[in-house]
Amino acid sequence: MRRRDGLAAYVFLAPWFVGLIAITVGPILASLYYSFTDYSLIGDPEWVGLENYVRMVGDERLHTSLGVTFTYVFVSVPLQLALALALAMVLDRGVRGLAFYRSVYYLPSLLGGSVAIAILWRRVFGADGLINQVLAFFGIQGEGWVSHPDYALGTLVILNVWTFGAPMVIFLAGLRQIPVMYHEAAAVDGAGPVRRFFSITVPLLTPIIFFNLVLQMINAFQTFTQAFIVSGGTGGPSDATMFYTLYLYQEGFGNFDMGYASAMAWLLLAIIAGFTAVNFLASKYWVFYGD
């Protein structure tokens, strides 16, 4: 019976194992091999060793894409989490129709990475878009925000901040787990709302903040659709929206240099793993688990 049950379990797990090998592990190992080759997607890959990785050192456009990506991550993620926490605090006060508001605020997280929203964003921040129409009503001459090198990246930062729904729901769940008696005791001792927030809410919420920080940072590093649609796939204007993933796509599927693109993918993996490891190492100094 035990042997039969084990066989049945393996049969039911077989589709997952096939998917893991064919869709995940296989392509990962293939990209690792291609990163050491000169591969154009048409001919056979030619082994070149570390040439693709050495090429990255002198690739100025790659350095630009890294700078754009780092700016995007380090600006948009903190702003997104701050907005998500603020709205979670408001909803935690027992707003009537909480389920409705929670669904409405979560909706941008479902739609924010879609092509349709990226097209809408390009229209809203275009020269004749909604933003400039509102500014014109007040007599202000707006810019072509998505076509101006100084503002194009900012529009994508705003788009990422707008997708605050997922971390907000997680923050709201964490706030619901904080015992009310802590706040009541602090209020009796004379602590105001601000003091209670920084002395009670934030320390007890640090595991949730840490979880959201790691998750949103990883997602931000992999952002592609928004930059591709808003810039028309060019990363413009003047490479202002040249995200690392977009440059990787251009090299792999635009210039058919899949060997170099594979090496870039592994560099991105190393960058994300490095920042994630730093977050985990630093978490012991500021994350409070209460054990």
Mean pLDDT of 68-91: 94
Residues 291/240, Cβ–Cβ less than 8 Å: no
Look up residue 145 and give its two tokens: 């925000």
- What does pLDDT average to over the chain? 90
CA distance 280 to 216: 14
| pLDDT, average across residues 123-136 | 88
Q: For residues 258 and 271, what is the distance between their CA atoms, to the nearest angstrom?
A: 20
Residue holding tokens 């993918």? Answer: 265
Q: What does the pLDDT read at residue 264? A: 97
Q: Is the pLDDT of residue 1 over 70?
A: no
Which residue from 8, 25, 35, 14 is spatially nearest to 261, judged by alpha carbons? 35
For the residues 100-109, what does the mean pLDDT come to? 79
CB 165 within 8 A of CB 108: yes
Dihedral sign, Cα of residue 112, residue 113, residue 117, residue 119: positive
Q: Are 244 and 250 in contact (CB under 8 A)?
A: no
pLDDT of residue 157: 95
Radius of gyration of the chain (CA): 24
pTM, full prediction? 0.91
pLDDT for residue 117: 87
Residue 188, judged by CB atoms within 10 A of its CB (0-12, 13-18, 19+), counts as exposed
- Tell me, what's the pLDDT at 83? 95
Give mean pLDDT, residues 66-88.
Answer: 96
